[in-house]
Amino acid sequence: MSGSASSVEGSNNLPMQSRTGRSKQRYNSQGERLVAGVVPLSADRNYVILIQSTRRKGWVLPKGGWESDESCQESAVREAWEEAGITLSIDYDLGNFEEKRPPKTSKDRSRYYFYQGTVVEQLDDWPEKDKREREWFTYTKAIEVLQNRPELQEALNRSSMNRT
């Protein structure tokens, strides 16, 4: 996993500063911004970690721009660390998802690539801890709080999370 050259590393050797800017951002031939994300599950598959969105009110899955110097999976793992303060093992690829929200402009579209991961460690200090809250949710509650984000609900539905 690569971090920016100016990253300060914590005692766990993970960067303590989030990447910013879009100079390394990937786009597809339709002009959609490519976004990597993760459905981070507890080992028993009964809970998922969601984070507070910084731009809008509400809960979201950890996700962010897939950068040109990373594989999609590396980007998803990095975003989970930066936004949720978790380390995880990737279980499998959940596929890609079209953004369902109406665009503000045609260039605002994103294409989401999600992975299912199992949370290995949840740390008390992480790059965006002063910007975001994180919380464990059951499937039923997660689907409810993601009601305005059908593409995120679809990622959760493709996971092996327990539905009870």
Number of structural domains in the chain = 1
The two tokens of residue 58 are 């509400």
Give which of 143, 78, 142, 145 is closest to 115, Cα–Cα: 78
The predicted pLDDT at position 3 comes to: 37
H/E element, 154: helix 150-158
Residue 25 lies in a domain: no
Residue 6 lies in a domain: no
User: Alpha-carbon distance 119 to 147, whole Å?
Assistant: 24
Backbone angles phi, psi at 129, to 5 degrees: -65, -25
Query: 155: alpha, beta or left, given left = phi > 0 and alpha = psi -120 to 50?
Result: alpha
Residue 16 lies in a domain: no
The predicted pLDDT at position 4 comes to: 35
**Which CATH number characterizes residue 50's domain?**
3.90.79.10
Q: Is residue 73 classed as helix, strand or coil in its secondary structure?
A: helix
Tens-place pLDDT, residues 95-136? 999 887 776 655 678 999 999 999 999 999 999 999 999 999
The one-character DSSP state at 132 is -
The predicted pLDDT at position 98 comes to: 87
The predicted pLDDT at position 164 comes to: 76
List CB contacts of 142: < 8 A, sequence separation 6 or more.
48, 50, 59, 156
| Domain hosting residue 120, numbered range | 33-158
Residue 139 lies in a domain: yes
Torsion of CA 23, 24, 29, 33, to 10 degrees: -80
Residue 14 lies in a domain: no
Residue 127 lies in a domain: yes
Residue 141 lies in a domain: yes
Weakly modelled stretches of the chain, pLDDT under 70: 1-22, 103-107
The pTM assigned to this predicted structure is 0.84
Residue 128 lies in a domain: yes
